[in-house]
């Protein structure tokens, strides 16, 4: 099981061809209190970079882009009633969706934990 | 305690605490009166009107006749007057003070506009009156259209859209119709990060896929990234100019040329036209469609003060697809074209011709200023914004180098390690008697504070605003954190739980048990 990070502040946790995707703790912290999350539907087919979800916080509404190409296999329905899960557990219970990864090579363009840490340090 | 104009804020010998200390029976604080919801203060036993007794009647609405009381709250006439007057006194308005909402252009609504708009010949007419009886009104619409076309250097204008976003929709529908007429329906619209937030929403509503274009380090459209995103499937690019960072897109002509080269159209969001009116003609920049917010550039009421109006100027290529109805000059008099005979118009956006009251006010503003006066409007709005920028950039953090256009953008770097956020800072401005500036937008900078003083403000007024901002910045940097994190203290309602309101909205009032 390996976790990758995108420059759009998403994480994707890959296990046997399926990636679980959420936003990073850095992202939830920057967004502030999250009040609404719109997740995709199971079966949606997405290309890397497609808009896949929307996060609304008290500050802004932001689009979430799919870090890989693939098909949605599950979504986190708990977020519908409790968007604050993203604030309290961005890397855990606040996950957004699971996606079956069509092309493993797309993961190569993403960062590992250390790379992401350096990336966000550069944003400060 | 003295205020900055040297006037005492309390009686000598008393302290601020003792002034504010006593509880009151009513909860009112002098003229700061507490006011409940109309359902809380009213009841079904009171009324302000005498209605005749209902006589015997026969219902013709079948089985849906209401058989119980509605329970609407009633008030006497003086109570109803007081209710709304008290509520209005809790409101902030351009008639109460400087309204620095960047990107929103809250400027003075000249009283001359109001006087003209109340003339019976334009105020007391109806859209369904015979055309022969409203020739003056049609002449007014035609004259306003002429001014808009002249100021923008564009050959056509659709007058009916009723707001900025409605105008965007009109422009994109014209673009869509033009492409479809060529058998070249496309699927992508480019929208830079520095564009207005409504741009991508409009494109999505029109069925387009939105591709964002990143901003450069200096807050403008990244031309290289934009060129890379262009292709045969791109229908249009939507650029706001000046953009929401308050900056002029210097490479605007190159942007227009590039999108035209691939057969796409250039939509310009004209919301910030007030910064360039009389100085730049968008038609000369290669614009195909642009909406003009009469409620911004041309001073008609904005933000709850009145309906918007967003006429859209169109290029030669898009003009045939303009919506109906529109005013034309016939052989002897004006006529309103209500039915499309060319088969090209994309249809109708509104039932009638548009926002007549706003047309009247906007034309009054234009004619009272004249062409030279309108150019001065642009100069003064840019001057005031730069005065704010220059007076605050030593203690706040300006997001971009160099001068700005009509609005000054700061970010929250100056608040680093103070424990004060952009939100807290804005709330403290309420205690100082100001409506906060736009915050957290645009998204391209962190903790944005976007200030647009507009040309309405005198130097004295802007100086007072700057003095207030400097005072608050110094307090924040001096560690007076509580002043901010608990603010507002002086507002009718204190810090509200905005997160709770969004997560668990209470949308229906119920009586207390």
* pLDDT tens digits, one per residue of B248-290: 999 999 999 999 999 999 999 999 999 999 999 999 999 999 9
User: Where is average pLDDT lowest: B25-39, B377-391, B414-428?
Assistant: B25-39
- According to the model, what pLDDT value does residue B513 have? 64
Closest CA to A39 of A27, A15, A60, A23: A23
* Dist. CA B364–CA B485, nearest whole Å: 45
Query: Distances in Å between the alpha carbon of B370 and those of B69, B116, B298, B381?
Result: 58, 16, 12, 17
Chain A residues inside the 8 Å CB shell of B210: 51
Class of domain B112-366: alpha beta
Is A35–B503 a contact, with Cβ atoms under 8 angstroms apart? yes
Cα angle: B1, vertex B2, B3; to 5 degrees:
125
* B462-478 per-position pLDDT tens digit: 999 999 999 999 999 99
Tell me the sheet residues that pair with B209.
B188
Out of A51, A58, A60, name the one closest to residue B502 (CB). A58
pTM: 0.89
Pair A54, A62: CB distance under 8 Å: yes
B436-442 CB contacts, 8 Å cutoff, 24+ apart: B436/B100, B437/B100, B437/B101, B437/B102, B438/B101, B438/B102, B438/B103, B438/B104, B440/A59, B440/A60, B441/A60, B441/B103, B441/B197, B441/B244, B442/B103, B442/B193, B442/B194, B442/B244, B442/B245, B442/B409
Taking residues B231-250, report their average pLDDT.
95
In degrees and rounded to multiples of 5, residue B366 shows phi and psi of: -65, -45
* Dist. CA B233–CA B370, nearest whole Å: 43
Chain B residues inside the 8 Å CB shell of A56: 502
* Domains (range + CATH), chain A: 2-100 (2.40.50.100)
Chain A residues inside the 8 Å CB shell of B500: none
Is B502–A35 a contact, with Cβ atoms under 8 angstroms apart? yes
| Sequence ranges of the domains in chain B | 112-366
Chain B residues inside the 8 Å CB shell of A30: 446
> Chain A contact for B502, CB < 8 A?
yes
Confidence of residue B126 (pLDDT cuts 50, 70, 90): very high
- According to the model, what pLDDT value does residue B19 have? 54
* Dist. CA B261–CA B281, nearest whole Å: 21
Residue B450, pLDDT > 90, answer yes
Give Dmax (Cα) for chain B: 82
Tell me the two tokens of residue B291.
Answer: 């909406």
Taking residues B90-101, report their average pLDDT.
93
- According to the model, what pLDDT value does residue B461 have? 98
Pair B279, B375: CB distance under 8 Å: yes
Pair B187, B151: CB distance under 8 Å: no
Out of B210, B443, B498, name the one closest to residue A58 (CB). B498
Residue B20, pLDDT > 80, answer no
> Chain A contact for B503, CB < 8 A?
yes
B394-401 CB contacts, 8 Å cutoff, 24+ apart: B395/B470, B395/B473, B395/B474, B395/B477, B396/B449, B396/B469, B396/B473, B399/B219, B399/B245, B399/B445, B399/B448, B400/B218, B400/B219, B400/B245, B400/B247, B401/B218
Residue B59, pLDDT > 90, answer no
Chain A residues inside the 8 Å CB shell of B415: none
Residues of chain A with pLDDT below 50 are none
> Chain A contact for B440, CB < 8 A?
yes
Pair A67, A13: CB distance under 8 Å: no
Confidence of residue B304 (pLDDT cuts 50, 70, 90): confident
In chain A, the residue whose alpha carbon lies closest to the alpha carbon of B442 is A60
- According to the model, what pLDDT value does residue B67 have? 83
In chain A, the residue whose alpha carbon lies closest to the alpha carbon of B439 is A59
Chain B residues inside the 8 Å CB shell of A33: 498-499, 502-503
Is A58–B441 a contact, with Cβ atoms under 8 angstroms apart? no
Is B440–A33 a contact, with Cβ atoms under 8 angstroms apart? no
- Render the burial of B336-347: b for 16+ CB within 10 Å, e for the rest: beeebeeeebbe
Best residue of A35, A54, A82 to probe chain B, by most B CBs closer than 10 Å: A35
Residue B71, pLDDT > 90, answer no
Chain B residues inside the 8 Å CB shell of A83: 503
- According to the model, what pLDDT value does residue B54 have? 87
- According to the model, what pLDDT value does residue B103 have? 86
Residue B507, pLDDT > 90, answer no
Burial of B349 from C-beta contacts in 10 A (0-12 / 13-18 / 19+)? buried
Cβ atoms < 10 Å from Cβ of B8: 9
* B344-399 per-position pLDDT tens digit: 999 999 999 999 999 999 999 999 999 999 999 999 999 999 999 999 999 999 99
Is B502–A60 a contact, with Cβ atoms under 8 angstroms apart? no
* Dist. CA A121–CA B409, nearest whole Å: 24
């Amino acid at each position: 099981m390996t976790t990758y990070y995108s420059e759009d502040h998403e994480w994707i946790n890959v296990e046997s061809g399926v990636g679980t995707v959420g936003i990073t703790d850095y992202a939830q912290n920057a967004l502030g209190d999250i009040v609404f999350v719109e997740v995709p539907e199971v079966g949606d087919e997405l290309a890397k970079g497609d808009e896949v979800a929307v996060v609304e916080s008290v500050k802004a509404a932001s689009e979430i882009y799919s870090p890989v190409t693939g098909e949605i296999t599950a979504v986190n329905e708990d977020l519908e009633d409790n968007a604050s899960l993203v604030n309290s557990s961005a890397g855990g219970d606040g996950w957004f969706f699971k996606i079956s990864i069509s092309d493993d090579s797309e993961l190569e363009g993403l960062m590992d934990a250390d790379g992401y840490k350096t990336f966000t340090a550069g944003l400060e | 305690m003295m205020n900055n104009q040297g006037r005492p804020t309390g009686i000598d010998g008393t302290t601020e605490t003792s002034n504010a200390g006593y509880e009151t029976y009513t909860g009112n604080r002098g003229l700061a009166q507490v006011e409940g919801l109309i359902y809380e203060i009213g009841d079904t036993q009171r009324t302000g009107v005498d209605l005749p007794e209902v006589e015997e009647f026969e219902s013709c609405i079948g089985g849906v006749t209401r058989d119980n009381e509605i329970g609407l709250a009633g008030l006497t006439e003086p109570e109803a007057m007081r209710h709304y007057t008290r509520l209005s006194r809790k409101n902030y308005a351009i008639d109460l003070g400087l309204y620095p909402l960047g990107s929103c252009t809250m400027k003075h609504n000249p009283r001359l506009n109001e006087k003209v708009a109340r003339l019976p010949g334009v105020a007391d007419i109806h859209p369904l009156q015979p055309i022969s009886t409203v020739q003056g009104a049609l002449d007014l619409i035609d004259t306003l259209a002429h001014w808009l076309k002249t100021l923008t250097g564009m050959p056509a204008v659709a007058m009916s859209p009723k707001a900025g976003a409605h105008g965007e929709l009109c422009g994109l529908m014209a673009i869509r119709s033009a492409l479809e007429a060529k058998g070249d329906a496309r699927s992508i619209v480019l929208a830079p990060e520095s564009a207005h937030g409504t741009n991508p929403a409009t494109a999505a509503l029109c069925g387009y896929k939105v591709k964002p274009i990143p901003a450069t380090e200096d807050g403008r459209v990244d031309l290289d990234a934009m060129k890379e995103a262009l292709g045969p499937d791109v229908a249009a690019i939507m650029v706001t100019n000046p953009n929401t960072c308050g900056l002029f897109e210097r490479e605007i002509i190159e942007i227009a040329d590039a999108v035209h080269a691939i057969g796409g159209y250039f939509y310009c969001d004209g919301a910030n036209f007030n910064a360039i009116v009389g100085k730049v003609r968008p038609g000369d920049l290669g614009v195909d469609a642009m909406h003009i917010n009469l409620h911004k550039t041309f001073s008609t009421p904005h933000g709850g003060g009145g309906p918007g109006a967003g006429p859209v100027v169109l290029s030669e290529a898009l003009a045939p697809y303009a919506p109906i109805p529109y005013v034309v000059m016939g052989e002897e008099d004006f006529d309103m074209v209500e039915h499309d005979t060319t088969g090209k118009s994309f249809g109708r956006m509104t039932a009638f011709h548009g926002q007549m009251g706003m047309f009247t006010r906007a034309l009054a503003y234009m004619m009272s200023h004249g062409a030279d006066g309108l150019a001065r409007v642009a100069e003064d709005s840019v001057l005031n914004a730069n005065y704010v920028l220059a007076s605050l950039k030593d203690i706040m953090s300006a997001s971009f180098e160099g001068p700005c256009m009509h609005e000054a953008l700061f970010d929250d770097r100056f608040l680093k390690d103070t424990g004060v956020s952009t939100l807290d800072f804005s709330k403290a401005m309420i205690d100082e008697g100001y409506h906060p500036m736009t915050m957290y937008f645009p998204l391209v900078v962190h903790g944005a504070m976007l200030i647009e003083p507009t040309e309405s403000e005198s130097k004295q007024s802007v100086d007072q605003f700057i003095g207030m901002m400097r005072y608050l910045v110094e307090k924040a940097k001096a560690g007076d954190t509580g002043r901010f994190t608990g603010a507002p203290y002086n507002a009718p309602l204190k810090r509200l739980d905005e997160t709770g309101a969004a997560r668990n909205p209470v949308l229906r009032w119920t009586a207390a048990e």
